[in-house]
């Protein structure tokens, strides 16, 4: 179900199970092995939800009982694109669902002089314009990097309606800005947080996702 008031925002069902997973990763006392394990479980749910929205065509197969089963098969090719570094944490979740999926990378960092996001590196599959793209970044805070990464994809010929932006937590500010820039991109998320603090961290948030997943 698309989440009101946004046309293309898909919020994971807010079940007690999901709330329990977020409770663990948001808890500052959670150590890195558990942070990784429970984040990975949420990432898997996000990938599965993204896959739910891909177009399919009818496919009939014959079962072992010699009866037909009216099924479907996915209609296109997909790839992942992670926003380095935190987005790389979501690559395995995508690989677990889509065997040998191609994954590109985009590196955006804050320019020291202007304090604005700056594109440092992009490496994307050659035929990306013909693919559905799962854009991976766990936290949507101000929206600056996600917007720049999406612009890179569109410049490479990817249609906005073929982009699925997967993240664990969105700020209201970030989702408003991103959705206004790309109303046709599908955003798949597990949590909408109320805002950002003075350091542009999500609140209540969970701190620095990349640090907690890779370093701390």
Catalytic residue annotation: 110, 114, 208, 211
Query: What is the greatest pairwise CA distance in the chain?
Result: 68
Give yes or no for residue 133 binding ligand URA (CB under 6 A): no
Which of 90, 139 has the CB closer to ligand URA?
139
Q: How far is the CB of 159 from ligand URA (least distance, A)?
A: 27
Using the rule CB under 6 A, give the single segment among 2-10, 52-60, 151-159, 203-211 that binds ligand URA: 203-211
Position among 35, 134, 209, 213 found at the interface with ligand URA (CB under 6 A): 209
Q: How far is the CB of 196 from ligand URA (least distance, A)?
A: 7
Measure the CA–CA gap between 82 and 35, rounded to whole angstroms: 19
Are 71 and 63 contacting, i.e. CB atoms less than 8 angstroms apart? no
Q: Kindly tell me the number of DSSP H helices and DSSP E strands found in the chain.
A: 6, 14
Position among 141, 147, 168, 188 found at the interface with ligand URA (CB under 6 A): 141
Torsion of CA 112, 155, 84, 200, to 10 degrees: 50
Tell me the torsion sign for CA atoms 38, 39, 41, 46: positive
Taken as a whole, the chain contains a residue count of 216
The footprint of ligand URA on residues 71-110 (CB under 6 A) is: 86
Which of 58, 199 has the CB closer to ligand URA?
199
Q: How far is the CB of 186 from ligand URA (least distance, A)?
A: 21
Position among 48, 96, 176, 208 found at the interface with ligand URA (CB under 6 A): 208
Give yes or no for residue 205 binding ligand URA (CB under 6 A): yes
Give the angle 185-51-25 at the CA atoms, nearest 5°.
Answer: 85
What are 192's strand-pairing partners? Answer: 170
Give the tokens for residue 153. 């994809």
Measure the CA–CA gap between 109 and 126, rounded to whole angstroms: 24
Position among 43, 190, 202, 213 found at the interface with ligand URA (CB under 6 A): 202
Name the site residues for ligand URA (rule: CB under 6 A): 86, 139, 141, 201-202, 205, 208-210
């Amino acid at each position: 179900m698309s989440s009101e008031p946004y046309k293309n925002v898909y919020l994971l069902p807010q079940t007690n199970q999901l709330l329990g997973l977020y409770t663990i990763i948001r808890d500052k006392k959670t150590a890195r092995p558990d942070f990784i394990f429970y984040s990975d479980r949420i990432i898997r749910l996000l990938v599965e939800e993204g896959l739910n929205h891909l177009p399919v065509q009818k496919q009939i197969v014959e079962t072992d009982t010699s009866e037909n089963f009216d099924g479907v098969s996915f209609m296109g090719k997909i790839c992942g694109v992670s926003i380095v570094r935190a987005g790389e944490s979501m690559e395995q979740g995508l690989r677990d669902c889509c065997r040998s999926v191609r994954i590109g990378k985009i590196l955006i960092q804050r320019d020291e002089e202007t304090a604005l996001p700056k594109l440092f590196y992009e490496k994307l599959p050659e035929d990306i314009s013909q693919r559905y793209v799962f854009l991976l970044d766990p936290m949507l805070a101000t929206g600056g990097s996600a917007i720049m990464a999406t612009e890179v994809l569109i410049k490479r010929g990817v249609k906005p309606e073929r982009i699925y932006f997967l993240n664990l937590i969105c700020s209201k500010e970030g989702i408003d800005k991103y959705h206004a820039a790309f109303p046709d991109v599908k955003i798949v998320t597990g949590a909408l947080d109320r805002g950002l603090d003075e350091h542009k961290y999500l609140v209540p948030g969970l701190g620095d996702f990349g640090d907690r997943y890779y370093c701390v």
